Amino acid sequence: MAFGGREQHYGYHGIVRRHVPASVWLLLLLGGEVNQVGWLAVIFAAVGSLALLPDLDRVAIALWIDGKETCQGTVTSVRKEICTCEYGTIVRYAHRYRFTLPDGEEQTGISYGRRRVEPATSVTVEYARTLPFRSRIKGMWSGRVRSVVLPFMLLPGAVGLVLLVHGMRRGVGAIRLLAGGQAGLGTLHSKTLVVAPIKSYQRATYRLVFRFLALDGLTYEASCRTEHPERLEDQQQEALVYDPRNPRHAVLLDDLPGSPTIGPDGAIAPASRGAVTVRLLLPVAGLISLTVCALLYAVRFW
């Protein structure tokens, strides 16, 4: 759906279509509370993945993608490493080795394992079919962190992407209603505690239900869940927009990011610079972290 001028009609019983300012559009699409949680999860996954990159067993991924070849190699040196953490002491051995490809080219590498293999010992080397410099000793790993850890680090990012899709879908629905829905006023009908705070710094979540009179003369309800009910209780009636074809599809303006307002002339006021800046900090940081993560993995991995 393209947003046009104020004189175009949307088809909702002849309602004049409103122009949605770009600032409001961005807040609704990217700055919702669900989106903010999603961006946080994406940033956490991206930063965690970047922290793992230098010590990640990238050869395991290369072998899975590119295919595996094997040959015999020789261990040239061994170094003992001791890592102490809250779970105890971990001892591993870093083995340097060399091997010769069928075409006569010599390659070297380093593999980590819990067991020690003495220098000059013959070992089986696994390497990627078209990337022979990606290799490891069979039964060991090429980095201090095994590749099996990567999916667990990326899991929050996957959850974050699901939340982002959900939040953007809600944002698109709100944009459609703002652009072509019928404006109205709702009166608070009920307020119910949904989630009680467990700790002192947590806020309670309430479900607020508002009733409004639609164009067809019937009364409908618009509801929302919020940790800030005071934003929806500061007036006797709260502004909302609804779909005249289906008045059950309605949103309260003060429940939307930035609390957009519709003036007497039907125009939507642009969002303040402060609201846009605050709400878009996480989306911008998330996009930057995703871009940096993708570029570094592409460069460092291959």
Count Cα neighbours of 217 within 13 Å in the Cβ-side half-sphere: 0
Task: Give, as one character, the DSSP assignment of residue 276.
Answer: H
Q: Note whether residue 4 is domain-resident.
A: no
The answer on pLDDT for 162 being more than 80 is yes
9-23, 202-216, 247-261, 282-296: least confidently modelled range? 9-23
Show which of 118, 144, 170 is a domain's final residue: 144
Q: Note whether residue 64 is domain-resident.
A: yes
Residue in 245, 246, 266 with CA at minimum distance from that of residue 178: 266
Query: Backbone phi, then psi, for 212, in 5-degree steps?
Result: -145, 155
Same domain membership, residue 198 and residue 217: yes
Domain that holds residue 68: 57-144
Same domain membership, residue 156 and residue 140: no
Give the span between the Cα atoms of 291 and 94, in whole angstroms.
Answer: 32
The answer on pLDDT for 95 being more than 90 is yes
Same domain membership, residue 135 and residue 199: no
Strands 182-195 and 205-213: antiparallel
The answer on pLDDT for 1 being more than 60 is no
Same domain membership, residue 34 and residue 181: yes
Tokens at 260, concatenated: 């957009």
Q: With left for phi above 0 and alpha for psi between -120 and 50, is residue 88 left, alpha or beta?
A: left
pLDDT digits over 224-249, tens only? 998 888 888 888 899 999 998 899 99
Q: How confident is the model at residue 40 (pLDDT cuts 50, 70, 90)?
A: very high
Same domain membership, residue 183 and residue 39: yes
Q: Note whether residue 73 is domain-resident.
A: yes
Is the pTM higher than 0.75? no
- Do 103 and 27 contact (CB within 8 A), yes or no? no
Give the span between the Cα atoms of 24 and 270, in whole angstroms.
Answer: 6
Give the span between the Cα atoms of 226 and 205, in whole angstroms.
Answer: 5
Same domain membership, residue 203 and residue 126: no
pLDDT digits over 114-137, tens only? 899 999 999 999 999 888 888 999
Same domain membership, residue 257 and residue 167: yes
pLDDT digits over 259-289, tens only? 898 888 888 999 888 888 888 899 999 999 8
Same domain membership, residue 169 and residue 262: yes
Instruction: Provide the mean pLDDT of the chain.
Output: 86
| Predicted pLDDT of residue 6 | 37
Q: Note whether residue 3 is domain-resident.
A: no
Same domain membership, residue 167 and residue 83: no
41-50, 95-104, 196-205, 237-246: least confidently modelled range? 196-205
Which residues does residue 100 pair with via DSSP β-bridges, in sequence order? 106
**How buried is residue 105: exposed, middle or buried, by Cβ count under 10 Å (0-12/13-18/19+)?**
exposed
Show which of 111, 144, 177 is a domain's final residue: 144
| Predicted pLDDT of residue 59 | 86
| Predicted pLDDT of residue 7 | 35
The answer on pLDDT for 13 being more than 60 is no
Q: Note whether residue 300 is domain-resident.
A: no
Same domain membership, residue 290 and residue 159: yes
Question: Which has more confidence, 266 or 112?
Answer: 112
| Predicted pLDDT of residue 33 | 86
The answer on pLDDT for 54 being more than 90 is no
Give the span between the Cα atoms of 156 and 275, in whole angstroms.
Answer: 27
Q: Note whether residue 301 is domain-resident.
A: no
- Sheet containing 135-137: order of strands: 106-113, 88-100, 68-85, 122-128, 135-137
Domain count, the chain: 2
Q: How confident is the model at residue 86 (pLDDT cuts 50, 70, 90)?
A: low
Share of the chain above pLDDT 90, in %: 45
| Predicted pLDDT of residue 14 | 46
Same domain membership, residue 248 and residue 177: yes
How many Cβ atoms are within 10 Å of 53's Cβ, its own excluded?
17
Q: Note whether residue 16 is domain-resident.
A: no
Tokens at 282, concatenated: 């996480």
The answer on pLDDT for 100 being more than 90 is yes
Q: Note whether residue 119 is domain-resident.
A: yes
Tokens at 245, concatenated: 């074809």
pLDDT digits over 172-197, tens only? 999 999 998 999 999 999 999 988 88
Q: How confident is the model at residue 143 (pLDDT cuts 50, 70, 90)?
A: confident
| Predicted pLDDT of residue 76 | 95
Residue in 136, 121, 243, 253 with CA at minimum distance from that of residue 185: 253
Same domain membership, residue 98 and residue 241: no
Give the span between the Cα atoms of 246 and 263, in whole angstroms.
Answer: 23
Q: How confident is the model at residue 39 (pLDDT cuts 50, 70, 90)?
A: very high
CATH number at residue 93: 2.40.50
Q: How confident is the model at residue 87 (pLDDT cuts 50, 70, 90)?
A: low
Show which of 102, 127, 144 is a domain's final residue: 144
Give the span between the Cα atoms of 190 and 192, in whole angstroms.
Answer: 7
